Structure 1
Amino acid sequence: MDEAGNVEAIQTLRLPLDQTAPSTAYQPDPSSIVGDNGWYRSFITITLIPLDLGSGIANTYYRIDGGAWQAGTHLVLNQEGEHTIEFYSVDVAGNVEIPFPVALKIDTQAPPTPAPPQTAPLSWTNLNSFDFIWSRPNDRSGIAGAYYRLGTPPTFNQDGTFTDIQVVDNIALPAEGSYDLYLWLRDGAGNVDYRRAVYVANAFRYDTTPPTTQAELTGALGENNWYVGPVTVSLTAADALAGVGSTLFRVDTRAWQTGTIALISGADKHTLTYFSTDLGQQRGTPACSDRAH
């Protein structure tokens, strides 16, 4: 207002003030496959989401694994391994966000076919307890464990028993017979492929049924089942699973012999005792044949 009483019109001065740096979030594409232990099982497309409530966003920058800074809000990680992305935004007022690092790990590959496991026992047995040892190969995310299956091949990734212990013992088979073993691996990211299973034929062989032995006599047969000359006894053993190991016999109280042909001579009533064992150490029940000549 001047001395004459004139009053100036009211004026408004706007002073924009923004002292706060923007903040930037990151969002992996929902189609990315999240695995185990912080790993991704697919390549990753990432969207950067800047926010500034003051002057607004001017630019957003990012870099991958310490490379050159690039402007943008979309980036793609398309290489296996462990990566670090960094990003920040600048607002219109020139406030600069402190770069924010994020570690991301990618493993898209299932483990390779493992080495054949070591199995025990190595032959037929009549004890229903079996063991095997498997090995961990190198893998980008490490080996978390193994699936195994007995008998028939697997048909899907989880079609077996999972174990993270390399020494698997005291496996009981459901019945007698010979069983194949299939073993495949799962890595630390959760990748698994049953089609990469290693196959061990006849890994476990279990037989609790003893062999049977039949005797066939050859000689001159007289009256009343008496033989009138030397008698040859042929022993034939059979075992459906493990197979025949050996046949033993003795005449009267003589020493045991291994063989399948017994020759009996000398006028008297004789007793032939015999049995067989199979390759699983099963022993047949001794049988007796009483013959006289």
Structure 2
Amino acid sequence: MSYRSTDRAGNVEVALDVAVKRDTVPPSTTHSLNGTLGNGSWYASPVSVTLVSSDATSGTAGVQYRVDGGALGTYASPVNVSGNGTHLFEYFATDLAANQEPIRDVMFEIRIDSGGPLPPTTSLTLEGVAGSNGWFVSTVTATLSAESPSGGIPSIAYRLDNGSWEAYTGPTPVHDGQHVLEYYARDSSGAAETPRSRIILVDTAPPVVDTLAPGGTVTSSQVTISWSAVDATSGIDHFEVSVDGGPFVSLGHDTHLTVGLADGTHSARIRAIDVAGNPSTTTLVFAVDATVVGPTGLYRELPMFLVVGAVLTLLLVLAWRQRKKDPIRQEQLVARRALGIVK
């Protein structure tokens, strides 16, 4: 983009150039698994997971991952996963323009023969409406199932948010909040798998927008629109504002916007979006009257008799001045003075 300025004397500066970079496409990440395969569907050794990310425009800022629903880590080199059972490896990348790709995952099973019976393996299925940044925007149903290499039906135990362990009997609902679900299975021989865990993020409520301003009539053409908002669960991600039906403009975390407006009635739509992707839109209506004089202007609060008195005084002064300039009036005044009559 090129730009230049001109002063009041007509001097024009040399045009300057500035490069504007725009990136709306998130990066893309792929994975590869390295380990000793058993029968082709599971691994008989620890598994090394390698991630490769690319972004054609701004470049990749970083890649994050987690294993079996644990805490997020920053990927720097291949990640080793060990321990018998089925493992869930999740990952995503963010580019330098802050675009984040959808969370990707790969599931694989490890069976390392330790000389005793292999423990059962448990699978977790989460059902709900997916939002943004790994959050669900509806109540989540968690379903557990287990298989035992020795046959039979293993028992499953689970607990939520470090509570007491309970026997799993059927799908479990998970409501709003940040939760940790732990679970494991045990077969009839006593072989038990290592407990697994999964972080479950649920936010079904949109942000609340309040404390809107301005209200009523504004007496300046430069209007500052302001608001506040709260989101108790996932937090505010960003705000968007539309003035007089125009396109929404993203403001990040700013809670005010100053615009120049003509006299008249105006509206602003403030949209708050939380980290989970829940939107909330509120409309503000106000008027602009930047007129200095008039019943709706800057001095509209003055008592009416003062306004009327000022107007009458102005009219009398103008009439008196006009009368003094009347030539007939001037001749009559000279004659009266000559006769000694002064009025």
Q: CA deviation at 1:47?
A: 1.8
Structure 1 76/162 Cα, relative in aligned 2: closer, same or farther at 3 Å? farther
1:98 has 2:194 as partner = yes
Change (3 A) 1:164 1:68: same
SS of 2:154's partner is strand
| Shift in CA distance, 142/28, structure 1 to aligned 2, threshold 3 Å | same
Structure with larger RCO (C-alpha < 8 A, sep 6+): 1
CA RMSD of aligned residues (A): 3.7
Match of 2:270 among 183, 188, 194: 183
What TM-score does the superposition give when structure 2 sets the normalisation length?
A: 0.48
Correspondence 1:144 to 2:256: no
Residue-by-residue CA offset, 1:142-181 (whole Å, 9 max, x unaligned): 12233434347x9xxxx844432324334344x5523133
CA contact (8 A) 1:57 1:90 kept: no
Aligned residue type for 1:23: T
1:145 touches 1:162 (CA, 8 Å); kept in 2?
A: yes
Amino acid at match of 1:166: D
Which residue in 1 is equivalent to 2:97? none
Conserved in 2, the CA contact under 8 Å of 1:55 and 1:93? no
Is residue 144–residue 164 contact of structure 1 (8 Å, CA) maintained in 2?
Answer: yes
Go from structure 1 to structure 2 and tell me whether the alpha carbon gap of 1:83 and 1:139 turns closer, same or farther (over 3 Å shift). Answer: same
**What is the match of residue 61 of structure 1?**
157
- The match for 1:267 is 324
Letter in 2 for 1:205: V
Measure, in 1, the Cα distance between the counterparts of 2:298 and 2:181.
Answer: 68
Structure 1 gap segments, 5+ residues each: 1-16, 212-236, 247-257, 271-293
Contact 1:132 1:168 in 2 (8 A): yes
* CA distance in structure 2 between the partners assigned to 1:116 and 1:181 by the alignment: 14
Partner of 2:137: 41
In the alignment, the residues of structure 2 paired with residue 94 and residue 65 of structure 1 have an alpha-carbon distance, to the nearest angstrom, of 26
Please say if 1:201 is aligned against 2:201. Answer: no
Distance in 2 (CA, whole Å) between partners of 1:165 and 1:93 is 57
Q: Letter of the aligned partner of 2:256 in structure 1? A: V
Aligned AA (1:79):
H
Larger helix proportion, structure 1 or 2? 2
* 1:69 to 1:79, Cα distance in 2 relative to 1, 3 A: same
Identity %: 22
Alignment of 1:186-265 (within 5 A): 186-194=273-281, 197=282, 199-202=283-286, 205=288, 243=297, 259-261=310-312, 262-263=315-316, 264-265=319-320
Q: Which runs of 4+ in 1 moved over 6 A?
A: none
Partner letter of residue 163 of structure 1? L
Alignment coverage as a number of residue pairs: 199
User: What is the distance in 2 between the residues matched to 1:90 and 1:77?
Assistant: 23
Task: Compute the displacement of 1:191 (Å).
Answer: 1.8
Shift, 1:206, TM fit: 6.3
